[in-house]
Each structure stands twice: as structure tokens, then as C-alpha cells.
């Protein structure tokens, strides 16, 4: 295929993936409450409305709070799981690996409903803690997959060499293992944070009466008076996310090779699907 055919193909894919969001950003400046052409003039009115909406404030605060707790929790649990599965040979290793992979394969709806039943059965009131608990257990396997892919690329013999040279285990972790998996940890942390911040399905079943950002968007989308405000907020949040994720991944990329960076990203998809 010629290079111009490829260019058309790539542009089309790019337009399908990012076009709707760009148009959303454009319409968020439109001086009309209706989502339609023609363009009525530029305004920041919707942004002003969005920034002063108390229910939106609460939702954004809740989502941020949940993600701030979930991400480090997932980093800790995921790294332990990755380390245990890649560094030790023991009976039942396959079963543990399967158990860790399972939340990545099962739909969030299925997990969310099971969680709802279990919380009801144990008489636990739904709220942010229940969302955090269920999100953490669905997200740390992703961290395990990303960090595991990096640990797998790393010869265990290097750790043994460090031990032979007189390092104790803490020193091995601190000076040999940690520098090696640091980029993977950073990438995994970014993913865990955004997965948590954006998650609708699990929140819908385990949140009770509070709102997170995706839940707020969900309820506002059905309200025609709200669309312009939703556009403005969505545009803002998406822009912040693109900048943070892109910047973060670029930073990760600078600390490691192209090859390791692609392995980390593909590793998530790869090891994740090995039941």
C-alpha cells in the first residue's frame, strides 16, 4: 500500500478516536444551549456555570479522593503480586496467577453486582470506602501485569549476583530491583489513577447515594438543560487527562528504552490475559 493510503487510514482512525472529543471542546465555547450548528458565537458562560455547580464539585472531589487512595493501594498490592508470581516457584503458582488475572477478564458489571450483593449480605453501608475496596481489587491486577512484564524482562541472576556480592535483601530491592521497575511503577500508577477516576460501572453498583465524576456525567447527560455544562466540564477534564497521561508517559519513556516502554504497555495486555 502506498504511503498516501496509509495516511488516509491513520487520519480516519485518529478522527474516529479523538474527533468527537475535539468537537465537544469546540461546542463547549458555543453561545447556545443546543448542541447544533450554526455556531452562535464564543462564550465562557458554560465554564463559569460548571465551575460554580456544587454537585459537580462534590463529584470531582469524590472521584479524586477515590483515585488518590486506590492508585497507591494498587501499586503496593500489584507490585507484591507481580514479585511473588515472577520470582518464586511454588505449588499453586498457576492458581494464584489465574486468580490475579481474573478481575482483568471479567466484566466490571459482573464484579460490581457480586460486590453489591456481598456488601448487602455483610450489612456494610455503601459509600466511598466500598467503591475504593472493589475498585482496588479490580485495578491492582493491571499493575501486577505491567510491573510483572518488566520484572520478567529482568534476569533474576542480577539479583543473585547482588546477593553474592554481599547485599542483603533490602539492599537488593532498593538498589537493584527498584531502579529497574521504577518506570513500570510510574506507568502503572498513571493507569491505576485514570482507571479509578473514570470508572463508572463499579461506582454505579457500590456507591450508594453519593456521586463520582462519571456518575455525575451519566445523570447530567439525560438532562437537556445540562448538556452545555457537561460539554464544558468534559472538555476541561479530558484536556487535563490528556496532558497528565501524555506527560507522564513521556517522562516514563525518557527513563527507559523504547523497547522497554512498548514491552510495558503491551505486557499489560499480554500477561493480563494469561489465565
Partner 1 sequence: MTRQWVTSETRGALAVLAAPTTALVVLFVVPFAVLVQMSMLKFPPNETSGLTLGHYRDVITDPLNVKIVLTTFAMVTAAMAVMLLIALPLAYYMVFKAGRRELFLLLAIVVADELAPVVRVYAWQVILGRNGLINSILPGPPVDWLLYSPFAVVIALVTSYITYTTIPIYAAMKAIEPVTLEAATDLGAGLFHQFWRILLPLAAPGILVAAILVYIPMYADFVAADILGGPSSYMLGQRVRDVILEEGDWGTGSAMNIVMLGLSGIFALIAYRLSRLNRMAT
Interatomic CA distance for residues 188 and 193, integer angstroms: 9
Any contact of residue 189 with partner 1 (CB under 8 A)?
no
Interatomic CA distance for residues 29 and 40, integer angstroms: 9
* 3-state secondary structure (DSSP) of residue 167: coil
Residue 124 per-residue DSSP state: P
| Residues facing residue 42 across a β-bridge | 30
Any contact of residue 27 with partner 1 (CB under 8 A)?
yes
Which of 65, 126, 200, 208: binder of partner 1 (CB under 8 A)? 200
Size of the site for partner 1 (CB under 8 A): 104
Q: What is the C-alpha R_g of the chain?
A: 22
- In the complex, what is the shortest distance from the CB of residue 182 to partner 1, in angstroms, rounded to a whole number? 19
- In the complex, what is the shortest distance from the CB of residue 186 to partner 1, in angstroms, rounded to a whole number? 14
Q: Which of residues 44-73 bind partner 1 (CB under 8 A)?
A: none
Region near partner 1 per CB under 8 A, out of 50-58, 64-72, 81-89, 175-183: 81-89
Interatomic CA distance for residues 149 and 260, integer angstroms: 9
Any contact of residue 77 with partner 1 (CB under 8 A)?
yes
**Cβ nearer to partner 1, comparing 52 with 165:** 165
Q: How many residues does the chain have?
A: 275
Any contact of residue 24 with partner 1 (CB under 8 A)?
yes
**Cβ nearer to partner 1, comparing 58 with 201:** 201
- In the complex, what is the shortest distance from the CB of residue 3 to partner 1, in angstroms, rounded to a whole number? 8
Which of 37, 42, 54, 170: binder of partner 1 (CB under 8 A)? 37
Query: How many angstroms separate the first and last alpha carbons of the chain?
Result: 38
Q: Which of residues 123-182 bind partner 1 (CB under 8 A)?
A: 133-134, 136-137, 140, 144, 160, 163-164, 169
**Cβ nearer to partner 1, comparing 38 with 54:** 38
> What is each CA distance from 250 to 153, 241, 259, 275, in whole angstroms?
21, 14, 14, 31
- In the complex, what is the shortest distance from the CB of residue 223 to partner 1, in angstroms, rounded to a whole number? 12
Among 208, 193, 97, CA closest to 144 = 97
Interatomic CA distance for residues 215 and 156, integer angstroms: 45
**Cβ nearer to partner 1, comparing 45 with 87:** 87
Which of 65, 68, 80, 182: binder of partner 1 (CB under 8 A)? 80
Which of 125, 158, 171, 262: binder of partner 1 (CB under 8 A)? 262
Interatomic CA distance for residues 198 and 71, integer angstroms: 13
Interatomic CA distance for residues 196 and 190, integer angstroms: 10
Any contact of residue 188 with partner 1 (CB under 8 A)?
no
Among 256, 236, 270, CA closest to 179 = 256
- In the complex, what is the shortest distance from the CB of residue 54 to partner 1, in angstroms, rounded to a whole number? 20
- In the complex, what is the shortest distance from the CB of residue 199 to partner 1, in angstroms, rounded to a whole number? 9
Which of 60, 116, 142, 176: binder of partner 1 (CB under 8 A)? 116
Quick check: bond before 166 cis, omega within 30?
A: no
Interatomic CA distance for residues 90 and 105, integer angstroms: 24
- In the complex, what is the shortest distance from the CB of residue 189 to partner 1, in angstroms, rounded to a whole number? 12
Amino acid at each position: 500500500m502506498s504511503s498516501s493510503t496509509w495516511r488516509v487510514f491513520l487520519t480516519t482512525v485518529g478522527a474516529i478516536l479523538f474527533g468527537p472529543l475535539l468537537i465537544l471542546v469546540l461546542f463547549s465555547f458555543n453561545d447556545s444551549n443546543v448542541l447544533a450548528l450554526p455556531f452562535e458565537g464564543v462564550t465562557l458562560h458554560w465554564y463559569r456555570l460548571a465551575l460554580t455547580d456544587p454537585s459537580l464539585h462534590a463529584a470531582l472531589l469524590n472521584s479524586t479522593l477515590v483515585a488518590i487512595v486506590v492508585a497507591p493501594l494498587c501499586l503496593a498490592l500489584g507490585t507484591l503480586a507481580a514479585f511473588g508470581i515472577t520470582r518464586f516457584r511454588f505449588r499453586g503458582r498457576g492458581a494464584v496467577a489465574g486468580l490475579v488475572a481474573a478481575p482483568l477478564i471479567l466484566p466490571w458489571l459482573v464484579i460490581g453486582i457480586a460486590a453489591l450483593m456481598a456488601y448487602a449480605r455483610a450489612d456494610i453501608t455503601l459509600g466511598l470506602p466500598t467503591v475504593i475496596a472493589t475498585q482496588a481489587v479490580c485495578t491492582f491486577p493491571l499493575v501486577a501485569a505491567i510491573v510483572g512484564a518488566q520484572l520478567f524482562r529482568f534476569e533474576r541472576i542480577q539479583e543473585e549476583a547482588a546477593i553474592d556480592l554481599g547485599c542483603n535483601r533490602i539492599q537488593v530491592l532498593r538498589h537493584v530491583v527498584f531502579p529497574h521497575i521504577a518506570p513500570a511503577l510510574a506507568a502503572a500508577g498513571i493507569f491505576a489513577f485514570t482507571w479509578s477516576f473514570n470508572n463508572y460501572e463499579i461506582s454505579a453498583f457500590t456507591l450508594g447515594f453519593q456521586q463520582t465524576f462519571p456518575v455525575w456525567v451519566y445523570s447530567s447527560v439525560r438532562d437537556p438543560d445540562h448538556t452545555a455544562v457537561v460539554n464544558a466540564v468534559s472538555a476541561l477534564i479530558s484536556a487535563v487527562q490528556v496532558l497528565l497521561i501524555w506527560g507522564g508517559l513521556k517522562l516514563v519513556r525518557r527513563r527507559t528504552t523504547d523497547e522497554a516502554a512498548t514491552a510495558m504497555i503491551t505486557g499489560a495486555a499480554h500477561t493480563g490475559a494469561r489465565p
